[in-house]
Amino acid sequence: MRFLAGNCRVGLLSCLLVALIVSFVTASVVLTTPATARAQDDGNPPPDQPVVNKSTNPIVHFFVSIGILFGLLFAAISVGMVALIILLILDLRLGEAVPTAFVDDFTNMVNKRQFKQAYDLCKGDSSFLARVLTAGMGRLQYGIEDAREAMMGMVETVKSGKDSWISYLATIGTLGPLLGLVGTVSGMVGAFRKLGESENAPKASDLAGEISHALVVTLVGVAVSVPAIFFYTFFKNRLNAITTNTTNLADDLLTQMYHNSRKTAAAPTMAAEKGSTGVQART
């Protein structure tokens, strides 16, 4: 249920981000349309005042330079990155991996020697700690060392599953500059093409437009990769800390359960020995 709730929140935030980007792109298209063209489409004569140069508006210049193709690519990558970051923030929490209520209930059941109820509690919980304890308790009958090995195997399994989601941030961090490099190369190719097509000296504005396109795409690629690399390192460190805390706590709880189970098994034996001693004494 917690995972479904987290997915719902991620989906809602993703839809809001998509709507914001679509509205931004639509506004940029309207802004980049010359005033004379809009006036002619409306059937009105063009205005007397001169049209403001597009390069004077940095927002318009940004959207015009990045283009539709790279704009859609970076928008999709950005929305996916934000959704992934929100999902990892909700999932990689110490309270989510080691629920306090679960630890208290498990400890009380073990102290009362309700081992079957404790095992059912672990199987019914989807937290990191519960999955590790379930694997260890399933092998506890073969000894504490065998149970610890089973726990460590489950720890690595759960950790690798969470680490696979974090690795997507590293992919985004690598993909952003590469797309920016593609934009840089395409812009430079356009600039050199204009140099080759012009018999006379090319206009500086034409060359500047192609070079500006290249630099804007490069800038966006780097801007996307910076938060991706930051959150990749952040979540890797958080996952390592959660794994260490979960492993230590699971080992303590399993050791406590093992010793309590041995005390329970030793109690009938001691009672039987006392009974046999009393019979011999009466004899």
Helix (H) or strand (E) holding 67: helix 58-91
HSE, side-chain direction, 13 A CA sphere, residue 154: 24
- pLDDT of res. 56: 55
Query: What whole-number distance in Å separates Cα of residue 264 and Cα of residue 262?
Result: 5
Which of 112, 84, 101, 90 minimizes the C-alpha distance to 5?
90
Contact 86, 10 (CB under 8 A): yes
pLDDT tens by residue, the chain, 283 residues: 344 444 545 454 454 444 444 444 433 433 333 433 333 444 444 444 444 444 457 777 777 777 788 889 999 999 999 999 999 999 999 999 999 999 999 999 999 889 899 999 999 999 999 999 999 998 888 888 999 999 999 999 999 999 999 999 999 999 999 988 888 888 788 777 777 776 776 676 667 777 777 788 888 999 999 999 999 999 999 999 999 999 999 999 999 898 888 775 554 444 444 544 444 445 4
Helix (H) or strand (E) holding 61: helix 58-91
DSSP 243: H
CA distances from 255 to 31, 59, 165, 209, 281 (A): 68, 62, 32, 69, 39
- pLDDT of res. 66: 79
DSSP 114: -
- pLDDT of res. 202: 66
Which of 212, 173, 216 minimizes the C-alpha distance to 78?
173
